[in-house]
């Protein structure tokens, strides 16, 4: 009789897994739920990884529930950073981008530190756009397996780009030229397990503020169509207006960085519902670290500052026209943890704090096709909840500054707790 040992083994397994569902009741002084509602003296009941209910006052607490008292704080939905580079790791010693090459497995392990800083900044979901050697795919899967800590990840794998002079540092990306190669590149990226496609539609990045369009309209259209045919979405990077115009006309789902957008392109973005991640703060971060970390050439800081001004002007124009915004930090290296500073720029261009918060909750959730499970503290949604010091609807720095992030829950598990001491 061979069945008995097997049965015994199964019974042991069953006994070691939690029999009863884990229930948590969390009290907040105030809760901004992400759907436009604000609760005073809120009680959020979390069952396993999901929010079960949200109420105010003294609702009945399920027996056996763990009660967490965060009534000193304001609760907000876990934040979504829609443009990151989690595998761009800085060891604090070398100059970023000139480190010795690292084995992909090492890159994955090191990226955990960036992922942890994201959690500490209240970021519970990221869309990561470009990583070498499948390291983003690996990190995403390890986090989903519970083997590593970090935000939930939607990843592009390696970006697709055109042939360019391979001056050091060697560009990361899949090099494709012409419509056929672009289609093959898109299929290869998605076949490898990527959730999104990232296309480099112009030059520009780091201290490089050039804005030359790279892919043609036909190539962008081919990439968009090949991506959509496989049921996925695409983000096109363009620092300049020409690449942006063609990216929008080609039907990109999101446009990254672009400055100097013309009125027609902005109107087209409104018509199509194209998401826009202007990534303003990353250049401010480069300015702050230009000498101490990056050792940029003289004059770079001034050029970055001028670019920020154009970036801000373009974003203001797009916001007034009704373009859909998403918070994208473009976080790299020691910029991790500063992810939500982008929201302060959004307030500067005219958003209310509530509108700014939406660009890191409801808007990117909808872009990711996760509007029923991310971006709100509401029944049925993932229990991604952040407790902040202050009132983000009065002052956005309550969520944008990492020192105000006191406690973070991701999918029902407490991943950051700075409420004591
Ligand atoms: Zn980027």
pLDDT in tens, 136-191: 999 999 999 999 999 999 999 999 999 875 555 555 678 899 999 999 999 999 99
- pLDDT, mean of residues 317-323: 98
Distance 84 CA to ligand 1 centre (A): 6
- Burial (CB < 10 A; 0-12, 13-18, 19+), residue 273, is exposed
Distance 57 CA to ligand 1 centre (A): 44
How far apart CA 365 and CA 223 sit, in angstroms, is: 23
Distance 218 CA to ligand 1 centre (A): 23
Distance 330 CA to ligand 1 centre (A): 5
- pLDDT, mean of residues 233-256: 98
Distance 130 CA to ligand 1 centre (A): 7
| pLDDT at 416 > cutoff 90 | yes
- pLDDT, mean of residues 93-119: 93
Distance 76 CA to ligand 1 centre (A): 26
| Phi, psi dihedral angles at 320 (to 5 degrees) | -65, -30
What is the band of 97 on the pLDDT scale with cuts at 50, 70, 90? confident
Distance 129 CA to ligand 1 centre (A): 6
| pLDDT number for residue 14 | 41
Distance 121 CA to ligand 1 centre (A): 19
For residue 17, CA distances in Å to 63, 120, 162, 298 come to 20, 29, 50, 60
Across the chain, what does the average pLDDT equal? 93
Distance 177 CA to ligand 1 centre (A): 21
Distance 238 CA to ligand 1 centre (A): 10
Distance 6 CA to ligand 1 centre (A): 51
Distance 282 CA to ligand 1 centre (A): 9
| pLDDT at 210 > cutoff 70 | yes
| pLDDT number for residue 164 | 77
pLDDT in tens, 216-232: 999 999 999 999 999 99
| pLDDT number for residue 165 | 59
Distance 375 CA to ligand 1 centre (A): 22
Distance 30 CA to ligand 1 centre (A): 34
Distance 21 CA to ligand 1 centre (A): 40
Distance 179 CA to ligand 1 centre (A): 24
- pLDDT, mean of residues 259-277: 98
The model's pTM is: 0.94
What is the band of 100 on the pLDDT scale with cuts at 50, 70, 90? confident
pLDDT in tens, 335-371: 999 999 999 999 999 999 999 999 999 999 999 999 9
Distance 13 CA to ligand 1 centre (A): 44
Distance 167 CA to ligand 1 centre (A): 19
pLDDT in tens, 366-375: 999 999 999 9
pLDDT in tens, 388-407: 999 999 999 999 999 999 99
């Amino acid at each position: 009789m061979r069945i008995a040992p097997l049965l015994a083994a199964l019974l042991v397994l069953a006994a070691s897994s939690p029999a009863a569902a884990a229930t948590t009741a969390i009290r907040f002084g105030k809760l901004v739920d992400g759907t436009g509602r604000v609760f005073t003296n809120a009680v959020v009941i979390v069952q396993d990884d999901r929010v079960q209910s949200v109420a105010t006052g003294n609702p009945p607490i399920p027996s056996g529930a763990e009660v967490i008292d965060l009534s000193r704080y304001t609760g907000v939905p876990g934040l979504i950073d829609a443009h990151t580079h989690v595998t761009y790791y800085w060891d604090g010693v070398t100059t970023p981008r000139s480190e010795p090459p690292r084995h992909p497995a090492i890159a994955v392990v090191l990226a955990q530190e960036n992922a942890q800083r994201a959690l500490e900044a209240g970021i519970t979901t990221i869309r990561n756009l470009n990583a070498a050697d499948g390291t983003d795919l690996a990190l995403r899967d390890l986090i989903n397996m519970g083997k590593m800590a970090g935000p939930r990840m939607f990843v592009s794998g390696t970006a697709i780009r055109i042939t360019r002079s391979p001056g050091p540092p060697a560009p990361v990306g899949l090099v494709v030229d012409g419509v056929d190669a672009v289609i093959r590149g898109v299929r290869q990226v998605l076949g490898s397990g990527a959730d999104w496609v990232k296309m480099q539609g112009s030059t520009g990045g780091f201290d490089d503020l050039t804005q030359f369009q790279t892919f043609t309209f036909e190539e962008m259209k081919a990439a968009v169509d090949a991506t959509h045919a496989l049921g996925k979405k695409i983000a096109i990077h363009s620092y300049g207006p020409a690449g942006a115009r063609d990216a929008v006309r080609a039907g990109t789902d999101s446009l990254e960085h672009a400055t100097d957008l013309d009125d027609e392109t902005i109107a087209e973005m409104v018509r199509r519902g194209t998401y826009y991640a202007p990534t303003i703060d990353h250049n401010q971060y480069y300015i702050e670290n230009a000498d101490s970390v990056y050792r940029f050439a003289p004059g770079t800081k001034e050029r970055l500052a001028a670019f920020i001004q154009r970036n801000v002007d373009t974003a203001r124009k797009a916001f007034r026209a009704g373009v859909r915004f998403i918070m994208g930090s473009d976080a790299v290296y020691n910029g991790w943890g500063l992810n939500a500073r982008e929201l302060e720029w959004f307030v500067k261009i005219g958003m209310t704090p509530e509108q700014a918060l939406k660009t890191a909750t409801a808007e990117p959730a909808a872009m990711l096709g996760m509007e029923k499970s991310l971006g709100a503290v509401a029944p049925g949604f993932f229990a991604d909840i952040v407790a902040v010091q202050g009132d983000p609807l009065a002052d956005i720095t309550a969520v944008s500054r990492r020192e105000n992030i006191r406690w973070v829950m991701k999918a029902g598990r407490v991943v950051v707790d700075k409420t004591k001491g």
